[in-house]
């Protein structure tokens, strides 16, 4: 499946959730994690076109998430802060759901950190340094020695 297809599939899941359709949270978390892992790989590609496509997909999914969050807030008549408070309250979920949510959050958090590092490396490429060869002797100049 192409990156574009994965992005579209994930966007559709977010949209269905925002519209109040019944969705499997584990599926959303799993596909999100898979998508972010794939993006991380694509952002490290040497081909600038593939990196640009990955950046475009990242921005697209981000815009979908913002739009869908606003839709959820409108339909539930909750503010974003209330929605976050609801999502962070374990009494709103079964113990199994809560465990699954927490595990997925942790994985997605780490994937997000990795994505941020990959993006940082793209914007600030470091010059590759050659490691010092300990067997190579440094030649010292005798110039101006007394």
Residues 38, 34: Cα–Cα separation, whole Å: 6
Residues 120, 117: Cα–Cα separation, whole Å: 5
Residues 71, 19: Cα–Cα separation, whole Å: 7
Q: Rounded mean pLDDT of 39-56? A: 82
The answer to whether the CB of 24 falls within 8 A of the CB of 56 is no
**Residue 138: band (very low, low, confident or very high) from pLDDT cuts 50, 70, 90:** low
Q: Rounded mean pLDDT of 41-56? A: 82
**Residue 91: band (very low, low, confident or very high) from pLDDT cuts 50, 70, 90:** very high
Percent of the chain whose predicted confidence (pLDDT) is above 70: 85
């Amino acid at each position: 499946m192409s990156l574009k297809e994965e992005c579209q599939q994930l966007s559709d899941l977010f949209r269905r959730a925002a519209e109040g359709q019944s969705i499997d949270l584990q599926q959303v978390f799993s596909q999100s994690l898979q998508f972010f892992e794939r993006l991380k790989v694509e952002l490290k590609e040497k081909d600038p076109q593939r990196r640009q496509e990955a950046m475009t997909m990242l921005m697209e999914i981000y815009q979908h998430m913002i739009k869908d969050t606003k839709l959820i807030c409108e339909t539930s008549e909750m503010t974003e802060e209330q929605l976050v408070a609801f999502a962070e309250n374990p009494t709103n979920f079964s113990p199994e759901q809560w465990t699954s949510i927490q595990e997925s959050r942790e994985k997605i958090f780490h994937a997000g950190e990795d994505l941020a590092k990959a993006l940082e490396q793209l914007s600030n490429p470091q010059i590759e340094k050659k490691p010092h060869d300990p067997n190579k002797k440094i030649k010292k100049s005798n110039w101006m020695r007394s």
